[in-house]
A = this chain, B = another copy of it.
């Protein structure tokens, strides 16, 4: 009786959710909005909890209708049978409450929360409460260590016998800061193993995965990933598709809501990914500034926490503070940032200098970390690799190994050029508002939406000269973006 037949409907709810016939729900003692546990009958058994809606007519009492998200999560086939039972409330709710109340959590408690996040036994609102609790109460070193271990335990890992397995990560917050593909290409061209897994945008207008996805696949299995790295020394893929840190992937979804980014989760998210990917040397980029994620003091504090965590998990972590007062490069948004990356790598083109210099600095730091260069000399090696075109060749190689082809992408067709309302000097470009503007235009879901920024801090502009162009796939979103620009002080001229 508890076995129901899977039905599809091209129904995309954004979350895994299922529908039952009213009669079936009554018989199983399930009320609307209750959580049920769905288990596949075939081996290996997969289990996932989800909330249910009920319907009268759309499906028969023997059927269960699943959203496309649930279908792909459990790899379900039409007419397959699954077992459906009412899910009990998990103990983890009490632990979330405990953290809300400011108490320290044990390893067992954190482990249960994390595994309930993965199996969806906790709802999105419940995860939101966990994120709120971490945001307000913080987590000490022990708890953060437990969190990282728990995240690792619920996912897949890979490892390499190579000596130099490196990675870099930016804590984010700076629109257009797309150094990763450039740094990866430079380092991999010099023989370093660089298994770069990125998230999609959390609170920003684009993540590295969003950018690479405009021209190549980013969603691979662990096996495919190993082949790509064996061939090219590196990869530029989406971490979420690898099932390495499924807990982190779901928590990040929730963080989007309030644009919260609790410190413990930030540390855990980054470090667990690097450990899962087998990295031994990790460079962390911490941009600081007025409209960056952190100020200098907070940045130094984070640097200390990161480097300490490295010692605990026995890998080398170095964090560098970089200036984050304004957007980087010209483009903001997946396609527009890709174009910047190509322009820096391809020596026949002219790319944004700030992005080039930052990428060279970061690559140089990595060469020094692994001991290939003495202090202060790494950047010269990076420059040589970039200017010789070897980095670009490596980038082409990686993209092709990921089934793509390097090419520039045209931005969206609806556009609006914003001009200077008066002559003067550019005093401020607000990272956060630039980011919101790009998101209103449709980023990161619309890959060709975004901004092209013509100006930098300190530039002199004439009345009527170009400040930026907004690109959007939808007229409605373009109008919303223009309206947002007019209502907010995105660029300040004095």
Residues of A within 8 A of B (CB): 9-15, 19, 22, 26-29, 31-33, 51, 53-58, 67, 85-86, 88, 93, 96-97, 100-102, 123-129, 132-133, 135-137, 254, 257-260, 440, 442, 445, 472-477, 480
- The smallest beta-carbon distance between A412 and chain B, in angstroms, is 11
Selected from B32, B257, B445, the residue in CB contact (under 8 A) with A14 is: B32
Q: Are A32 and B9 in contact (CB under 8 A)?
A: no
B-side contacts of A132, CB under 8 Å: 100, 128-129, 132-133, 136
Q: How far is the CA of A259 from the CA of B129 in the complex (A)?
A: 12
Q: How far is the CA of A55 from the CA of B13 in the complex (A)?
A: 8
Extra pairs beyond A12-B32, A29-B477, A128-B129 (8, CB < 8 Å): A15-B33, A27-B474, A29-B442, A29-B473, A86-B480, A97-B260, A100-B136, A126-B257
Given contacts A100-B135, A473-B29, is CB(A55)–CB(B15) below 8 Å?
A: no
- The smallest beta-carbon distance between A236 and chain B, in angstroms, is 24
CB<8 Å pairs between A and B, sample of 15 = A10-B22, A12-B32, A26-B474, A27-B474, A29-B442, A29-B473, A29-B475, A29-B477, A93-B258, A100-B136, A124-B125, A125-B254, A128-B129, A132-B136, A136-B137
Q: Are A53 and B11 in contact (CB under 8 A)?
A: yes
- The smallest beta-carbon distance between A284 and chain B, in angstroms, is 25
B-side contacts of A9, CB under 8 Å: 55, 57-58
Q: How far is the CA of A475 from the CA of B477 in the complex (A)?
A: 52
Q: How far is the CA of A15 from the CA of B15 in the complex (A)?
A: 14
B-side contacts of A67, CB under 8 Å: 53
B-side contacts of A259, CB under 8 Å: 93, 97
